[in-house]
Amino acid sequence: MSVENLGTRVRISWSDGVTHDFHPFWLRESSVDPQFRDPKTGHKLLDAEDIPLDVKVTEITQRDGTLDLQFSDGHSSSYSLDKLHQAAVHPRTDELIGKKILWDGSFSPSWYEQSELESQPAKLLALLNDIASLGFALVRGIPAELNGMARFIDQLGYMRITNNGGIEDIKALPSAKVYDLSMTPRALEPHCDNPYRVPQPGYTLLHCIRNDAQGGESALIDGLYVADRIRRDRPDLFEALSTVPIVFRYADDQAILEHTCPFLDVTEDGTVTHARFHGRCDQVTATDPAVLSKFYEARRMYSKIIMSDAAQLQFKLQPGEMFMVDNYRLFHARRGFRLDSGIRHMQQAYIDRDVVSSRQKTLLRDINAKPWKSRI
């Protein structure tokens, strides 16, 4: 490898063929010297505005995977060459660590046991790694009682509280008390939860307390798999799904919740970071009819694949079983059930994305890391 100081840039070439130019100010501001940066939090202790804009690297010493740099403002710091390589090839953070695996209805998932998750941190990390790669995890052995899922949530951190509360009952109610279709016995088509909230709930947990009514099976669909198929077969429709703004909205006497965004969020490198689908509350913006014609065709294809048996992983939750799904990636559904044939009682809760991301990363750093605790 080689390091060249070109004055306005420092060029590093690694043996794997990667060459990257670093701005001297970027290097100076990235200093890990404990006088400049808190080693624990990684936060700067001094103001970057005090670094001269024309700061230069005046001296470079290379030793064992490290660069020692001396700067024109008198500061010096050591830099890990591995970290500089990472900054060159993968400058963004990953929300979760792990390669995404796309799946369809033929996928055979494995189950996690709540007792093992509690006694073996490596199992909890494996579950979080599944959330990263597959977007969901199945757990059994959770007490089939009200709020039994709190035991699972406590291992991760905190649940999200919304205007509907924390852990919510999902069971058919008398019509006067119904504020959501989930509280009726009717089938629920595949959807993500609450795309009208900002932020949309990150993860949805559905815990089964009782499920002996006829019907009521669950289905999960991988939105990334669906998006990938459309991108390969019809890039023009993928474009419509990722650009045309849609209003997602919910209103009742105590809440007005709305958000405008496309079905798919795609980064500039083509990664789909968020897939939405909610056929009950989407209203595409009244944009140009030619754009809308393409959009309607795109939504028809999107919906058709999502609704197809081939895309749906189907199962019936039994008492004590739970699924956790990435609500920015998966869609979930349930078949209708017959109220006269038994009882279907689920409980649902949401967890924010940073809770899950942080839990995985702290466990990767230290397998005995404890979940978030309140600091107050």
Question: Interface residues with Fe ion (CB under 5 A)?
Answer: 193
Instruction: Mention every residue, 6+ apart, whose C-beta is less than 8 A from residue 232.
Output: none
CB 223 within 8 A of CB 329: yes
Separation of alpha carbons 281 and 255, rounded Å? 15
**Helix, strand, or coil (residue 256):** strand
Give me the least distance between CB of 156 and Fe ion, in Å please.
19
If the CB atoms of residues 332 and 359 are measured against Fe ion, the closer one turns out to be: 332
Least distance in Å: CB of 375 to Fe ion?
32
- Looking only at Cα atoms, what is the longest distance across the chain? 81
The string of DSSP codes covering 89-123 is: H--SPPSS-S------TT----EEEHHHHHH-HHH
Measured from the CB atom, is 193 or 321 closer to Fe ion?
A: 193
CB of 41 to Fe ion, least distance (A): 37
- Minimum Å distance from CB 343 to Fe ion? 19
Dist CA 164 CA 60 (whole Å)? 58
Choice between 193 and 239, CB closer to Fe ion: 193
Ordered strands of the 218-222 beta sheet: 188-191, 330-334, 218-222, 312-315
- Between 222 and 239, whose beta carbon lies closer to Fe ion? 222
Shortest distance, position 222 Cβ to Fe ion, whole Å: 16
CB of 188 to Fe ion, least distance (A): 6
Asked if 201 contacts 308 with a C-beta cutoff of 8 angstroms, the reply is no
Q: Which of 24, 202 has the CB closer to Fe ion?
A: 202
For residues 207 and 347, the answer to whether their CB atoms sit within 8 Å is yes
- Return the number of the residue (75 or 259) whose C-beta is nearest Fe ion: 259
What's the token pair of residue 190?
């595949």
Which is nearer to Fe ion, 10 or 220 (by Cβ)? Answer: 220
- Measured distance CA(326)–CA(150) in Å, rounded: 18
Q: At closest approach, how far in Å is the CB of 182 from Fe ion? A: 6
**Residue placing its CB nearer to Fe ion in the complex, 77 or 218:** 218
Q: How far is the CB of 180 from Fe ion (least distance, A)?
A: 9
Residue nearest to Fe ion (CB): 193
Neighbours of 64 (CB within 10 A): 5
- The residue among 36, 30, 45 whose CA lies nearest residue 84 is 30
Can you spell out the DSSP letters for 30-57? T---TTTB-TTT--BSS-GGGS-TT--E
